[in-house]
Each structure stands twice: as C-alpha cells, then as structure tokens.
Amino acid sequence: MPLVQIQIQKITWQQAIPVRHKVLWPDKSPEFCHVEGDKEGWHFGAFLGDQLVAVASIYFDGCSARLRKFATLVEYQGQGIGKALLTEVIGVLRTEGIKLFWCDARESAMGFYQPFGMQAEGERFYKGPVPYFKMSLSLQ
C-alpha cells in the first residue's frame, strides 16, 4: 500500500471548524467551535490526500502568537501528524519575525510540547476540571 504524504498548508477558519467540532466539542453545535479572532487568525491544516486530518489556529498580539484549537482527528492521533503540523507552524512564525509562541496546554499534553522547546510558565490553572499550564517558546 503506498504511503500518503502529509501536506501542510494554510486553510480558512471555516475549514478548521469541522475538525475542531469532531475532536474538541462533538457534543456541542458547530457554532460553539468558533473562536473570537478566527477571521483575523491564521489557520493551518494537515492533509492526507484530500482529507483534512489536523488543524491549528494561531492568533496574534503584536510579535506574540498564540496557538489555540489544535486538534487531530482521533483515528490519526499518535502518527506524528500533529508534530509535523506544529513544526511547520513554528517555522512559518519564525520566518514572519514572531518573537514569542505560546499556548495554554493541558497538563496531560505538556510532554507533547516540551520537545519543541516550550516551557511551562507560572502555576497550574484550571478550565473546568481540566488542569492547564501556560507554555511558551522564544522564537528569536
């Protein structure tokens, strides 16, 4: 069986909604998956063939970029697709002169972000019952 190569490219925020919905909030409406700033943000998608299997949205504040709504379809998790997507996003942000990249990471996902050089800042905080840490990476 031939290997299908991952293609990573910018997508529209509207393209990101179905993956966000399926992975992050399957019990909510698709409208619930919209985020303030979606129209101004940059959105990236990882494709296997014609299928969008992972998304990452980036929101800007000056020279700072925040990762939000990073999701990979469950059946494609653990295959390096999210790693490839985040590697591409960080490379693009460096090229664009962004100085700081950050996200609110679930405590259970901190190990995913650490190999990129991201480090926890501050104290653990909660969104509902889920523990998070702010994690960041200097891109200079």
| DSSP letter, residue 42 | E
Report the 10 Å Cβ neighbour count for 42. 17
Rounded distance between C-alpha atoms, residue 18 and residue 114, angstroms: 28
Residue 74, SS3 per DSSP = helix
Considering the entire predicted model, what is its pTM? Answer: 0.92
84-117 pLDDT, tens digit per residue, is: 999 999 999 999 999 999 999 999 999 999 999 9
What token pair was written down for 63? 């020279």
Rounded distance between C-alpha atoms, residue 67 and residue 62, angstroms: 14
Domain 6-99 has CATH 3.40.630.30: yes
Rounded distance between C-alpha atoms, residue 52 and residue 29, angstroms: 20
**Which amino acid, one-letter code, is at 90?**
I
4-41 pLDDT, tens digit per residue, is: 689 999 999 999 999 999 999 899 999 998 999 999 99
- Annotated domain spans of the chain: 6-99
